[in-house]
Amino acid sequence: MYRKFFHSLETKTDGDSVRLDEVIENLSFNDSGLIPVITQDATSKTVLMMAWMNKPSLEKTLETGRVTYWSRSRKALWTKGETSGHTQELVSMQFDCDGDSVLCLVNQVGSACHTHRPDCFYLKVDNQAKHVRIVGDGS
């Protein structure tokens, strides 16, 4: 059903709109009720992290403006920064063309990664040397 809905949006043009609740109802959550979320710094466009949302966390994010994820390890809603103080203020949210992933642009306060690095993508592949280099200081 979601494919048909998102396929119907392909003919829309710049400036057209669709009701938000209708789009959310047609998102493709996986069998666990989750959808992947890429979080990017709104200014630098650096990809900060990838996490998961369920429908309640997505709705809470839109309601509060503070990015809230679903923690698979805790099996609970997790508002970024609730314990660390490293918060994410939602600037904008976008959905991909298939309705199966979310992009959040945020104002990040503090580090995005639990390792205290600026972002979670600090393991850089050096394919020639067949190594993975650590980039970014976690101290």
Q: How far is CA 122 from CA 7, 44, 93, 112, 116, in A?
A: 36, 16, 24, 11, 11
Over residues 83-104, the pLDDT tens digits come to 899 999 999 999 999 999 999 9
Q: Give pLDDT, residue 137.
A: 75
| pLDDT grade for 29, boundaries at 50, 70 and 90 | very high
Report whether pLDDT(44) > 90. Answer: yes
Over residues 14-24, the pLDDT tens digits come to 999 999 999 99
Q: What is the pTM of this model?
A: 0.92
In this structure, what are the phi and psi dihedrals at residue 50, rounded to the nearest 5 degrees?
Answer: -125, 135
Report whether pLDDT(31) > 70. Answer: yes
Which domains are present in the chain? Answer: 2-112 (3.10.20.810)
